[in-house]
Structure 1
Amino acid sequence: GIGMVFQHFSLFAAMTVAENIALGMDNPPSGRELSRRIVEVSREYGLALDPGRIVATLSVGERQRIEIVRCLLQNPRLIIMDEPTSVLTPQEVETLFVTLRRLADEGCAILYISHKLEEIRSLCHKATVLRAGRVVATCDPTEETAKSLAEMMIGTTLNVPSRSEQALGDPILEVGGLDLPREEQFDTDLQNVTFSVHAGEIFGIAGVAGNGQDELMGALIGERLANTRDAIRVRGTDVGHVGPRGRRRQGMCFIPEERLGHAAVPDMALWENAVLSAFERQSLGSAGFINAGAASKYSRDVVSSFDVRTAGVEHAARSLSGGNLQKFVVGREVLQAPDVLIASQPTWGVDANAAAAIHQALIDLARGGAAVVVVSQDLDELMAISTRIAVIAGGRISEARPVSEVTVEALGLEMGGHASPDAAGAAASHEAAHD
């Protein structure tokens, strides 16, 4: 009687909807009967699904419907949902909430796990707050604010990032006509990606997972080389043809999405992980030899500046909690004072106070004249810290607009592959101004 919808979908992309649902059932009916029941249940709850569609051809929102329908086919009395909206557009979130409210009205209990506090306030009848694995509060979320809920979570006053308007400098990072074919069958082709980021700017890139963010990050940080050397330029210097080390020498630093294994080596000490990216910029050695003392000092500076909870910099990266490791990775890059910082999901998995501290560090870095690119699925995050925002969908990037001229709803439409009226109007005005 218990169903589970995981944050990361447990689906096989090369199989059909019906085949994936059958895999999650103890005694699935015959193929024809299962398809009939899928159509029946999906229509009843407004979760349209074609049992014969290959999962790889579906949007992320449609894939989540598979997980929910698979639960519903087993008539659960309790559904547990772990961060169910992390990969959905705002419009898809509202559709999901309609379904969940109906299920609750029909007597199904729903345990909804999320760090998105406005969603908790909108959807839930009761909220339980956990901190360090312990229950610290139970409340009616409709009687709380997002700020008060966050303060229950962290046990202290929430620090809100402060930013001020400032004149932007010249473009530092320029990406023009970037095309990158997919490497795997279900990857996304990058098509004519073009944008520029100025000194003093935080450039936000929004999008639903699987629309080319990973491929764009790979191209920007040099793990995949661009189609032409001038497709990516830093302060007028072509870097499209050089790898991560060459780009670091040009003043770039990187915060990849996957912290354990990509941003940090799990079994290496924190000070050793600092050497991996800061060896040259922080003079942590010379002639190929590591200066362990300098590396340890730099690591301790990161730990101190970003409030990383650790027993010491000699301990392995895997010994840190996810949030503390994320703070270490962000601090390791930010304290190098790069000209360009590329960050993907910079506050993923950290508490509200740590997220605010990371946001402030990015704002301060831009205020000091750096060009900062933040790739994120969290629209609230992008709206809070970005100067301009663009949307990536299907491997293409939209025209960037000032954050003051966009709404979450308009961004959600673009993320779903639909041009919003605001965007269309802005584009028409832009073209008219140049006629």
Structure 2
Amino acid sequence: MNLMPGEIHALLGENGAGKSTLVKTIYGVVAPDSGQIIWDGHEVDIKSPSKARDLGIGMVFQHFSLFETLTVSQNIELCLSPEQLSSIGDLAGRIQELSKTYDLQVDPTRYVHSLSIGERQRVEIMRCLVQSVKLLILDEPTSVLTPQEVAGLFDVLRKLSKEGCSIMFISHKLHEVTEICHKATILRGGKLVGTCSPAEETPATIAKMMVGDLAEQDAGYTKATGEHIIFSAIGLNLPAKHPFGTSLKDIQFDMRKGEILGIAGVAGNGQEELMSIISGEDNRTVNNAITLDGKDISTLNAGKRRKMGLAYVPEERLGRGAVPDMSLSENTLLTHSSGFVSKGLVNWNAVKQYAKALINDYSVKCHGEFSEAKSLSGGNLQKFIMGREIGQNPKVLICAHPTWGVDVGAALAIHQALLELRDQGAAILLISEDIDELFLLADRMSAICNGHLSPVVRTEETTIDQIGQWMAGTFIESNPSSQEVNA
């Protein structure tokens, strides 16, 4: 693989194709077994991230590595050597200078906990710019941004590219690849299988290179209209549980049988709190604020809500969606004991057969039902968790970020499974930061910002720009109570 100065180079492939391993090797997190890394004409041995940074290689990981209780300037200082700090001199002044040059709007004095996700990403990029980066590696950089923030990020990347900085861009959003990247390298099963010029391709042709003939793109699905209300949140108010949390403010919405309700929003605006109180993970009392099938469930624990027909796919796969050290069979049993337990005894043979069926039906790449959850790639574990929850034939499914970090083939399988469940009469609450996915799947849509929920509208009656503005909170001033629109 070759990377030219000033080139924006996409690194593409299915989950488990080797993208993360490759960039971690370049950044010094993982040591290669063999081969060479040639940097600026010379072979280098990158033994650590600090060595990579010394060479001029910077990386922004999908999960940011910032200390929330420190300022922007303090966070950036942590990754600089004494020599670098000495040569920079006034670090805050340098941050302000670079912020103005690249229109990043980064304030060195602000505490990280007060920043939005998009602002935190800009801090991560600033951390690389301060070190005069020559190669910037971005792992799924747009997965948590509003459309407006994505446009701003692309402006920064284009400016860096013109100045000669190379950029390695990992993304599953292929329309972004065709928009901004000069070249793409495709990996499959740990091997390089092809390269292309994205501007000369379409998302569909690139997807086919990635995953073969399975990569038929979602072409848009028929929208459904539900009549019977199965779930309601009525005047739901809830104070934040911890200092960095978000309070819920007069949340009101209905879910209907045979419909998907999509809620857009930038991470940290109350999605986690909303899902926790609905699922029962948060056991605080909100009397009469949540009803399922006409019954008040606000005082019931998570287990009792499940027995009433509520299933949940959380945003955190390992730790909440699945126990890392448990096998897939054991993880199946955790939330799906019906039919597998009799008089206190577990029918392990039945559990294993069911886990095998899930693995087969959802094309989960693993070594079998005995595989530990932590051994699976993120996309494959997500497919398994989705299959486990859908397999319970729930009345209501809460689904958070169903295809976050998932490749094209897996995303298509998950989309089809959700739509089949909807068409069987279930109500689905789809919470995602991927606005394109919401427009593809949701029958009705809303947005959440700072704990407020926007009006709910039919998907075909709104636009990406309007939802993007609602994600930024424009609806709050004009409609403080954020009541639902009859749609």
Q: Do Structure 1 and Structure 2 share a fold, with TM-score over 0.5?
A: yes
- 1:4-43 deviations in whole A, cap 9, x for unaligned? 2222221111111111111121132599811111111111
1:5 aligns with 2:60: yes
Pairwise CA distance, 1:181: 1.5
1:58 aligns with 2:115: yes
- 1:279-330 deviations in whole A, cap 9, x for unaligned? 13xx111222211122122222212221222332133222323222211111
Pairwise CA distance, 1:128: 0.9
Structure 1 segment 190-229 matched on structure 2, within 5 A: 190-229=248-287
User: 1:156 is paired with a residue of what secondary structure?
Assistant: helix
In the alignment, structure 2 segments of 5+ residues that lack a partner are 1-55
Instruction: Determine the C-alpha separation between the residues in 2 that align with 1:311 and 1:4.
Output: 32
Alignment-mate amino acid for residue 271 of structure 1: S
Contact 1:226 1:232 in 2 (8 A): no
Pairwise CA distance, 1:253: 0.8
Contact 2:225 2:259 in 1 (8 A): no
Instruction: Determine the C-alpha separation between the residues in 2 that align with 1:157 and 1:270.
Output: 25
1:389 aligns with 2:445: yes
Residues 166, 94 of structure 1: alpha-carbon distance in 2 compared, 3 angstrom cutoff = closer
Coordinate RMSD, CA, aligned: 2.3
Q: Find the partner of 1:328 among 384, 408, 423.
A: 384
Number of matched residues?
A: 427
- 1:192-222 deviations in whole A, cap 9, x for unaligned? 1111110000111111111111111111110
Structure 1 segment 15-26 matched on structure 2, within 5 A: 15-26=70-81
Alignment-mate amino acid for residue 7 of structure 1: Q
Q: Find the partner of 1:373 among 429, 433, 439.
A: 429
Alignment-mate amino acid for residue 385 of structure 2: V
- 1:391-430 deviations in whole A, cap 9, x for unaligned? 1111111111111012222211111222399x98xx9996
1:70 aligns with 2:127: yes
- 1:78-97 deviations in whole A, cap 9, x for unaligned? 11111111111111111111
Q: Find the partner of 2:332 among 249, 262, 274.
A: 274
Contact 2:246 2:270 in 1 (8 A): yes
Aligned to 1:135: 192
1:123 aligns with 2:180: yes
Pairwise CA distance, 1:263: 1.1
Query: Which structure 1 residue ranges, 4+ long, deviate > 4 Å from structure 2?
Result: 29-32, 427-431
Instruction: Determine the C-alpha separation between the residues in 1 that align with 2:65 and 2:371.
Output: 33
Residues 227, 399 of structure 1: alpha-carbon distance in 2 compared, 3 angstrom cutoff = farther
**What is the TM-score of this pair, normalised by structure 2?**
0.83
Pairwise CA distance, 1:165: 4.0
Contact 2:59 2:137 in 1 (8 A): yes
1:43 aligns with 2:112: no
Contact 2:457 2:485 in 1 (8 A): no
- 1:356-375 deviations in whole A, cap 9, x for unaligned? 11111111101111001111
- 1:170-194 deviations in whole A, cap 9, x for unaligned? 1111111112211221111111111
Q: Find the partner of 1:155 among 205, 209, 212.
A: 212
- 1:220-244 deviations in whole A, cap 9, x for unaligned? 1100135423211110011111111
Alignment-mate amino acid for residue 464 of structure 2: V
Alignment-mate amino acid for residue 428 of structure 2: V
Residues 205, 29 of structure 1: alpha-carbon distance in 2 compared, 3 angstrom cutoff = farther
Alignment-mate amino acid for residue 295 of structure 2: T
Q: Find the partner of 1:110 among 146, 158, 167.
A: 167
User: 1:80 is paired with a residue of what secondary structure?
Assistant: strand
**What is the TM-score of this pair, normalised by structure 1?**
0.93
Instruction: Determine the C-alpha separation between the residues in 2 that align with 1:159 and 1:122.
Output: 20
Instruction: Determine the C-alpha separation between the residues in 2 that align with 1:30 and 1:139.
Output: 41
Aligned to 1:258: 316
Structure 1 segment 308-319 matched on structure 2, within 5 A: 308-319=364-375
Contact 2:239 2:246 in 1 (8 A): yes
Residues 29, 184 of structure 1: alpha-carbon distance in 2 compared, 3 angstrom cutoff = farther
* Seq. identity, %: 46
Instruction: Determine the C-alpha separation between the residues in 1 that align with 2:251 and 2:452.
Output: 6
User: 2:90 is paired with a residue of what secondary structure?
Assistant: helix
Q: Find the partner of 2:298 among 240, 247, 268.
A: 240
Contact 2:161 2:167 in 1 (8 A): yes
Contact 1:343 1:373 in 2 (8 A): yes
Alignment-mate amino acid for residue 71 of structure 1: C
Residues 330, 75 of structure 1: alpha-carbon distance in 2 compared, 3 angstrom cutoff = same
**Higher mean C-alpha displacement, 392-401 vs 305-314:** 305-314
